């Protein structure tokens, strides 16, 4: 996330600096930051034209991202501090059809209630890649804070033990667990439901006999943001006959150039997953963080 100078300084003093021996003030911190070439939005002084190359690169991978998300992507992936006003102006100038499409959605505001952070986490899966590429996505988010707890890719997202392992890894890293979990009624979520409920009963015996999970029967699509861009990358290899994830008998990819000859053999599904799962997971981790 993009923190203010005061918040960064507070974090440094709290976690990294022994304040009984050393001191660091806001003015000195800003001076040190600028000596390192790390400038804020005003001093970077970007305009629509200066962000154009970076926007082209990012829009290839995140074609559905809106202005607010593009500000975050520019900061984390291109090291560019850009105001939302500049990004909005870029869309108005170069992508007016997207602005019109956004206005045409006519979103309806609804009230949603939560006690606070970590009151509830919602989990969901994305199955379309499983049938096209043999890759299953799974995610969890705290809707109150907007924090993504995990965003995983594997050759399946239907194994209850696998989904439970995502949850256990998440609460171990956070050092806390939510009051309630939420998902659709798919059987892949039974392990998470039972595991979370067991932990709640263990820590609070008064909850015995209750289910600490909320089943949601209405489904929403997970693909709005980053999946179309990655689909284009994966489908390009299929269209150009570089690989076929559904071919399980054909040999490993061996590609080499000898003068004017390029020999490419198709890869089996295991090799496809071995190549693309680590790459996709690193991209998803970057998106989550």
Quick count: other Cβ atoms within 10 Å of Cβ 140?
A: 23
Residue with the bigger pLDDT between 41 and 272: it is 41
Residue 236 confidence class, pLDDT cut points 50, 70, 90: low
Residue with tokens 């390029």: 262
CB 229 within 8 A of CB 117: no
Compute φ and ψ for 128, nearest 5 degrees: -65, -35
pLDDT in tens, 175-197: 999 999 999 888 889 999 999 99
pLDDT in tens, 100-140: 776 666 555 667 778 888 899 999 888 777 767 778 889 99
CB 65 within 8 A of CB 58: yes
Spatial distance between the Cα atoms of 98 and 71, rounded to a whole number of angstroms: 16
Spatial distance between the Cα atoms of 30 and 9, rounded to a whole number of angstroms: 9
Q: Which residues lie across from 142 on neighbouring strands?
A: 147
Q: Average pLDDT for residues 149-169, to the nearest whole number?
A: 92
Percent of the chain at pLDDT exceeding 70: 76
Torsion of CA 239, 240, 244, 249, to 10 degrees: 140
Spatial distance between the Cα atoms of 63 and 196, rounded to a whole number of angstroms: 36
Gyration radius of the chain over CA positions: 23
Residue 61 confidence class, pLDDT cut points 50, 70, 90: confident
Q: Average pLDDT for residues 249-273, to the nearest whole number?
A: 45
Whether residue 247 has pLDDT greater than 60: no
Residue with the bigger pLDDT between 246 and 73: it is 73
Residue with the bigger pLDDT between 210 and 132: it is 210
Compute φ and ψ for 206, nearest 5 degrees: -65, -15
Q: How far is CA 84 from CA 58, 160, 208, in A?
A: 16, 41, 49
Q: What is the pLDDT of residue 42?
A: 85
Number of residues in the chain: 289
Spatial distance between the Cα atoms of 120 and 125, rounded to a whole number of angstroms: 17
Q: Average pLDDT for residues 199-203, to the nearest whole number?
A: 93
Q: Average pLDDT for residues 64-83, to the nearest whole number?
A: 85
Q: What is the pLDDT of residue 263?
A: 39
Q: Nearest CA to 280 among 246, 238, 229, 242?
A: 229
């Amino acid at each position: 996330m993009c923190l203010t100078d005061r918040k960064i300084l507070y974090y440094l003093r709290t976690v990294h600096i022994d304040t009984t021996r050393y001191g660091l003030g806001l003015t000195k911190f800003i001076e040190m930051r600028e000596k390192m070439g790390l400038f804020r939005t005003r001093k970077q002084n970007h305009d629509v034209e200066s962000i154009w190359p970076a926007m082209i690169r990012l829009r290839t991978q995140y074609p559905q991202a809106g202005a607010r998300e593009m500000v975050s992507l520019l900061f984390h992936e291109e090291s560019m501090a850009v105001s939302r006003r500049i990004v909005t102006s870029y869309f108005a100038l170069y992508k007016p059809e997207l602005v019109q499409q956004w206005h045409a959605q006519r979103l309806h505001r609804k009230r949603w209630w939560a006690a606070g952070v970590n009151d509830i986490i919602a989990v969901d899966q994305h199955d379309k890649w499983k049938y096209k590429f043999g890759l299953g996505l799974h995610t969890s988010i705290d809707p109150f804070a907007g924090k993504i707890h995990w965003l995983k890719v594997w050759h399946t997202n239907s194994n209850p033990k696998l989904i439970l392992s995502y949850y256990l890894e998440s609460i171990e890293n956070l050092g806390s667990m939510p009051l309630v979990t939420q998902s659709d009624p798919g059987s892949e979520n039974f392990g998470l439901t039972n595991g979370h409920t067991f932990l709640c009963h263990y820590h609070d015996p008064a909850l015995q006999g209750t289910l600490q999970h909320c089943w949601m029967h209405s489904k929403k699509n997970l693909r709005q943001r980053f999946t179309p861009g990655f689909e284009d990358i994966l489908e390009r290899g299929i269209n150009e006959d570089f690989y076929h994830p559904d071919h399980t008998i054909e040999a490993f990819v061996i590609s080499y150039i000898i003068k004017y000859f390029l020999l490419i053999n198709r890869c089996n599904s295991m090799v496809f997953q071995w190549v693309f799962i680590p790459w996709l997971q690193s991209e998803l981790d970057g998106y989550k963080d």
